[in-house]
Amino acid sequence: MILPLARRKVMAIVSALMFCAMPASAQADTPVIAAASDLQFAVEEIATAFTAETGMRVRLSMGSTGNFARQIREGAPFEIFMAADEAFIADLHADGFTLDAGDLYAIGRLAVIAPHGSPLAPDATPDAALDNLADMLAEGRITRFAIANPEHAPYGMRAREALISRGLWDDLQPFVVLGENVSQAAAFALSGNAEGGIIAWSLALAPQLRERGTHALIPEDWHEPLRQRMALVQGAGPVAEAFYAYMMEPEARAIMARYGFVLPGE
């Protein structure tokens, strides 16, 4: 049987590492992956599956795409950058910080979410996802509403665009609570101290969050697309290359699809 190109690349790297017999416990052999916060649950599953299949390990660092881009420019020892907005990869590549222009690995979506007991009830009808928020805002019943910081978090940027497209941003701003990244925004939104928030669809679908509230998918034409791209950072080693290739494999793609990501080729 002829293996897909990505699988052949993974197995070739695994074979090379086994031949070299490098200590599995060495920190230098465990690359650090800078991954956007919307990937929190999906990429943890993928990393576990990768280790089970190859015996190689990676370390995950979750945060906002903008902050990671700045840290890479300052010399942070990341070997893969999985950004939530491909523009950050393009900028880093133009300045020589990545090996190449990288690959699109997913398109993300936004969701409005509210904790159980909140008067905010996201409508299951996509075109009405923010209607209840608009009504509550007009009635003065919004006290806190969480989004990621739009200054450096792509999901915050797109949340602001969605609110602007619905004519809600100006009136909502006094009540907006900003998370450092979209995971923190989700924590704020579900804390019980806010009526809700706008977060990543992938987080809303995670078992750890979906049972804590109600959510609705925000129409994709309310904001610019969340084209998510990854790239190997200059100096990336063979384990990082193997994980990068594994992200294109059916096992990893199936996990990403389960968390609501639209995948390249779909």
Which of 96-105, 129-138, 175-184, 232-241 is least confident? 129-138
Indicate the pLDDT class of residue 136, thresholds 50, 70 and 90.
very high
CATH assignment at residue 41: 3.40.190.10
pLDDT tens for each residue of 155-168: 999 999 999 999 99
Higher-confidence position of 130 and 34: 34
> 59, 88 in Cβ contact below 8 A?
no
Say yes or no: 97 and 191 in one domain.
Answer: no
Percent of the chain with pLDDT over 70: 88
- Span 200-245, pLDDT tens digits: 999 999 998 988 999 999 999 999 999 999 999 999 999 999 999 9
User: Looking at residue 98, what is its pLDDT?
Assistant: 98
Mean pLDDT, residues 14-20:
38
Averaged pLDDT score across all residues of the chain: 90
In contact, 139 and 121? CB cutoff 8 Å: no
- Of the pLDDT bands very low, low, confident and very high (cuts 50, 70, 90), residue 113 is very high
- With cut-offs at 50, 70 and 90, classify the pLDDT of residue 125: low
Q: Is the pLDDT of residue 20 over 60?
A: no
Residues listed for the chain = 266
State yes or no: pLDDT of 69 exceeds 80. Answer: yes
248 in any annotated domain: yes
- pTM for this model (two decimals): 0.87
The pLDDT, as a whole number, for residue 24 is: 39
Domain shared by 82 and 152, yes or no: no
Give every CB contact of residue 225 below 8 A, 6+ residues apart in sequence: 107
Task: Starting at the earlier edge strand, list the strands of the sheet with 32-36.
Answer: 59-63, 32-36, 78-82, 226-232, 103-108
Same domain, 53 and 94: yes
Q: Give the pLDDT of residue 127.
A: 65
Say if residue 60 is in the same domain as residue 155: no
Q: Classify residue 159: in a domain, yes or no.
A: yes
Give the dihedral of Cα atoms 27, 33, 38, 42; nearest 10 deg.
Answer: -70
Same domain, residue pair 179 and 125: yes
Answer yes or no: do 44 and 128 share one domain.
no
Q: What whole-number distance in Å separates Cα of residue 59 and Cα of residue 121?
A: 37
Would you say residue 8 has pLDDT above 60? no
Domain total of the chain: 2
Query: Do residues 116 and 212 both lie within one domain?
Result: yes
Domain hosting 184: range is 110-217
My answer on whether 117 and 174 are in the same domain is yes
The pLDDT score that the predictor gives to residue 123 is: 64
- Looking at residue 28, what is its pLDDT? 54
Residue 102 and residue 146 in one domain: no
Answer for the pair 203, 182: CB distance below 8 angstroms, yes or no.
Answer: yes
Burial of 27 (C-beta count, 10 Å sphere; 0-12/13-18/19+)? exposed
State whether 85 and 169 are in the same domain.
Answer: no
Res. 11 pLDDT band, cuts 50 70 90:
very low
* Residue 265, in any domain of the structure: no
Say what the pLDDT of residue 166 is.
94
70 and 59 within one domain:
yes
How many CB atoms lie under 10 A from the CB of residue 250?
10
Residues 248 and 231 in one domain: yes
